[in-house]
Structure 1
Amino acid sequence: MPRSKKGKRSSTKGGKNGVKGESGASDDDLASDVLSHYSSASESASVLEEGTGGGEPVDDQTAQEETEDKLKQCIDNLMDKSVKTRLAALESLRGAFSSRLLYDFLMERRLTISDCLERSLRKGGGEEQAAAATVCAQLCVQLGGGDEGEEGFKILRPVLSAIMIDNGASVAARQSCARALGMCCYVSAAEDGEDLVKSLSHLESVFTASYPNREGVLPIPKAGVSGLHSAALHAWTLLVTLCPASRLTVLLDLHLPKLQACLESSDVNYRIAVGETIALLVELARDLDKEFELEDCDTLCECLKGLATDGNKHRAKNDRRKQRSIFREVLHYIENEDYTEEKIRFGVEGIYIDSWVRRRVYETFKEVLESGVRHHLQFNPLLRDIFGLGAPLILDASIKASKISRFEKHLYNSAQFKARTKIRNKVRDKRADVM
């Protein structure tokens, strides 16, 4: 996959677009205050306005300065002795990093923040480690993967890996570190590939614990460990998309047979993660060799058919529905080499998710940025480069004014829902008559 030093990489697969607080306010109030400035409910580029003491609106510059002051307070609070204060600060930064672009603000403070996050990861409890790892991933996305991102990743990679492979650490912290390691490496790994190889190896050491033993028997997972294995597998799969052809061939031969055996896992979410990984690996193999054929493909397809039609009553209804949906897609791709594409809309733009590789990349950014992913797709140069969107659009006033209001959209959706309900009721009536 082509990569550049600053932009890091092009579209994943030929897309169609492509000072501690001295005030009396509590830590929770501060967290809420910062998050209110960075609400992801709005996709506009303007800073939220707040009234002053006299009730008069403040201009964008003043609001920006007030918000940055609050973020500076949060950064200072990362060094506080109180665990509650540090957790509140991490939560505030998580919300801000998710919903806004803060490149200029963070460039001046990236080393300070990296040091604080490293301290939380090394000395904090499980909850603090998990929160710090998430902010690490968001920080890499904010910095955009240039020299600054690589510098930060060099600092954070060893500690993220150490926690992830530590069996004595909190499972939640290990899981969060696995996600962060995958994202940070994808965005910020140096061109020499050393960090990529090490990250892949550490992630493998985690999820391969779910592989069958020499007798072909799957291990019985401990409580919560399947979620860790899923996170590590997803992160590993993301990094596999960066591997050169020579290494990819080795990984396919080594992991595909073992992953097929893991389709019998007792955990539904891990089964789904395995199924998606198999589809992605086959997709990469077919991109390398148009004549690629899976060994024992018939057996794999039979297993996928069983999972796509699984009706075991001892499994939760939602789990069965989710599993059947995913494995129908996986089976369809394995048999027909066809991916059912999806369009993700944001603002006046959209991207097509038209491959398993593209899907894994988007889902990873969505996990890290949560509801702020659409804002970043609109304005973050890193995501726009990865998905082939070009420079951020600058909309003029006429285009902004022509956007449908939320109330109008609600009325339209209500009308559409009523119309669909009427049509479906008619169809149900006809089915009843036939039966």
Structure 2
Amino acid sequence: MPRTNKKKKKGGARAGDSSEYDTAEETASVTSSHISEPDSIDEAIASHGLDDVDETSGQDAFEEKIRDFIDGTTQKSAAGRKHCFEGIRAAFSKKYIFDFVDSRKITIADCLERSIKKGKGDEQVLAAKLLNTLWIQLGAGPECEEVFAALRPVLMSKVLDKTASPAARASCASALGLGTFIAAAEFETVCSCMNALEDIFSASYLKGDGSSPTHKPGVSTLHTAALNGWMLLLSITPTSRIKHIVETHLPKLPDLLSSDDVNLRIVAGEAIAMLYELAREDDEEFEGDDIDELVVKIRNLATDSNKHRAKKDLRQQRSSFRDIIQTIENGESPQELVKFGVECLEIDSWVRRRQYSIIRESLGSGTNTHLQENPLLRDIFGLGAPLVIGLGGHKKASKTERHNFNSAAFKARTKVRSKQRDKRVAIY
């Protein structure tokens, strides 16, 4: 039966869908980024006195607070260092301040390296999360490449260290994935990182007897973070490598759909959908092996009513797997519109959704500011140069201007995705 009808329908809910599992309370599209519920950056901004200082006291006062936090990362108290890491991360999330960060990147990187190597638990987690905002501030240039080259071995070592806490390894896996995505100069580095991340989440594949492995608390979160990072790097894999990755990973990933962890099930489903999306860019009729069995599994998850699962988990799971089944059966990608200032970003593929998700997880409420001002994000999402806003403040775009903007974005989005995946030389 045909499964590649590529008609696009706007919005998370699909109008006219009368399937038995489409309930009124579950019409919103949910992705893994919304499920992970990272610690609130808004709360960190307020608790560290960063919420109003740049408006009331000027940029100098804002930067002075960050300097104080940077100085505090060398103190002997672990609690004090953690407080300072939280403050720096909140500041980096709130505003795009490339020049300030660039002039202090080595000092910051040294402190983070020391904490990731020698710190314990929560300190390692906070240091790795701060790294994500550091990558985003520095962008895809030599400034970030220098820091990434110094810290990549440290992150790789911690990710693979089975004696470290799962939470620390999970945060380091996210930092390794995003850092590689932004700063890796050679695709060989990307491959090395993908292999390391796969070694982690493959531990959740089914055992030889077909049963799901049992893990200690926190390990499933680690596997979810590793799979998320692997997907992010898959999004920039050259087209010439996609066929091989689809052939080797599509038969394995459905094992993760049997996991007891709802987040891992959902992320695994999204990874499968992304593989189908990428495979069909080359072959619109691609179905893969055992697609009928896969569809049955995913439909069961989209209609799951297991009373032993939490209601919130079931809602998230059913909503996500509705989008996933539409991609596999009909070739439809998820649709979401993100508005920021007078602009908007169309999330129209699993590739773009994964890229936006990691940015949103890293920056929280500061995402919109960075979308407006940060050249890295504007390049990733094909937004062009930052808009210049006059002294009169933000001017609402007219209906014609919005239509023209969206039309241009619609025409360019496929080229942008292809360019992102092919900009690095493939290594065989």
Picking from 179, 204, 208, the partner of 1:210 is: 204
Match of 1:10 in 2: none
Name the residue aligned to 1:380.
Answer: 374
- Deviation of the 1:278 alpha carbon: 0.3
The aligned residue for residue 169 of structure 1 is 164
Q: Does the aligned pair in 2 maintain the 1:226–1:270 contact within 8 Å? A: yes
Note if 1:134 corresponds to 2:147: no
Q: Is the 8 A contact 1:150 1:189 kept in 2?
A: yes
Closer/same/farther in 2, CA of residues 34 and 286 from structure 1, 3 Å limit: same
Sequence identity of aligned pairs in percent? 47
Using the TM superposition, name which of 290-299 and 320-329 deviates more.
Answer: 290-299
CA distance in 2 between counterparts of 1:236 and 1:243 reads 10
Give yes or no for contact 1:34–1:71 (8 Å, CA) kept in 2.
no
Q: Which amino acid in 1 is paired with 2:85?
A: L
Question: Counterparts in 2 of 1:175-254, with a 5 A limit?
Answer: 175-190=170-185, 192-254=186-248
Give the letter for the 1:324 counterpart.
R
User: Residues of 1 paired with 2:91 and 2:372: CA distance?
Assistant: 16
Alpha-carbon distance in 1 for matches of 2:310, 2:371:
35
2:132 is the counterpart of 1:150: no
2:333 and 2:238 map into 1 onto residues whose CA distance is 23
1:103 paired with 2:110, answer no
Deviation at 1:312, TM superposition (A): 0.9
**TM-superposed deviation, 1:150:** 0.7
Once residues 402 and 159 of structure 1 are traced to their aligned partners in structure 2, the CA distance between those partners, rounded to angstroms, is: 46
**Are the aligned partners of 2:304 and 2:314 in contact in 1 as well (CA < 8 Å)?**
yes
Per-residue CA deviation, residues 206-229 of structure 1 (Å, 9 max, x unaligned), is: 101011233333211221111111
Q: Report the AA paired with residue 344 of structure 2.
A: G
Total equivalences in the alignment: 355
Contact 1:38/1:95 (8 A) holds in 2: no
Q: Does 1:320 align with 2:314?
A: yes
**Which amino acid in structure 2 is aligned with residue 346 of structure 1?**
F
* Equivalent in the alignment of 1:48: 55
Conserved? CA contact 2:72–2:81, under 8 Å = yes
> In 2, are the aligned partners of 1:34 and 1:70 still within 8 Å (CA)?
no
> How far did residue 265 of structure 1 move?
1.3
SS in 2 for 1:352: strand
Code of the residue aligned with 1:206 in structure 2: it is: I
Whether the aligned pair in 1 keeps the contact of 2:125 and 2:172 (CA below 8 Å) is yes
Q: 1:33 to 1:235 in 2, by over 3 A?
A: closer
Matched position secondary structure for 2:55: coil
Counterpart position of 2:296 = 302
Structure 2: which 5+ runs fail to align? Answer: 1-9, 11-43, 398-428
Q: SS of 1:345's equivalent? A: strand
Residue aligning to 2:266: 272
Q: Could you tell me how far apart the structure 2 residues matched to 1:342 and 1:373 are? A: 16
Aligned to 1:37: 50
Provide closer, same or farther for how the CA distance between residues 109 and 398 of structure 1 changes in structure 2, counting only shifts above 3 A.
closer
CA drift of 1:401 comes to: 7.0
| Aligned counterpart, 1:396 | 390
Equivalent pair of 2:73/2:81 in contact (CA under 8 Å)? yes
Larger Cα-atom Rg? 1
After superposition, the Cα gap between the structure-2 partners of 1:194 and 1:340, relative to the gap in structure 1 and judged at 3 Å, is closer
- Quick check: 1:94 aligned with 2:89? yes
Candidates 246, 256, 260, aligned match of 2:254: 260
Distance in structure 1 (CA, Å) of the matches to 2:97 and 2:222: 30
Mapped to 2, the partners of 1:261 and 1:122 lie a distance apart of 33
SS of corresponding position for 2:56: coil
How far apart, in 1, do the equivalents of 2:285 and 2:222 lie?
35
Q: What is the root-mean-square deviation of aligned Cα atoms in Å?
A: 1.9
Equivalent-residue separation in structure 2 for 1:233 and 1:149 (angstroms):
24
- Show the counterpart of 1:329: 323
Most deviating of 244-253 and 121-130 = 244-253
**Aligned twin of 1:363:** 357
- Report the AA paired with residue 37 of structure 1: L
Q: 2 CA distance for matches of 1:111 and 1:35?
A: 23
Scaled by the length of structure 2, the TM-score of the pair is 0.79
* Contact 1:165–1:202 under 8 Å retained in 2: yes
User: Are the equivalent residues in 2 in contact too, given 1:264–1:271 (CA < 8 A)?
Assistant: yes
Give a deviation string over 1:282-310, Cα, whole Å, max 9, x none.
11111122332211111111111111111
- CA distance in 1 between counterparts of 2:226 and 2:276 reads 19
CA contact (8 A) 1:340 1:354 kept: yes
Give the alignment partner of residue 159 of structure 1, picking from 154, 161, 180: 154
Distance 2:257 2:394 in 1: 48
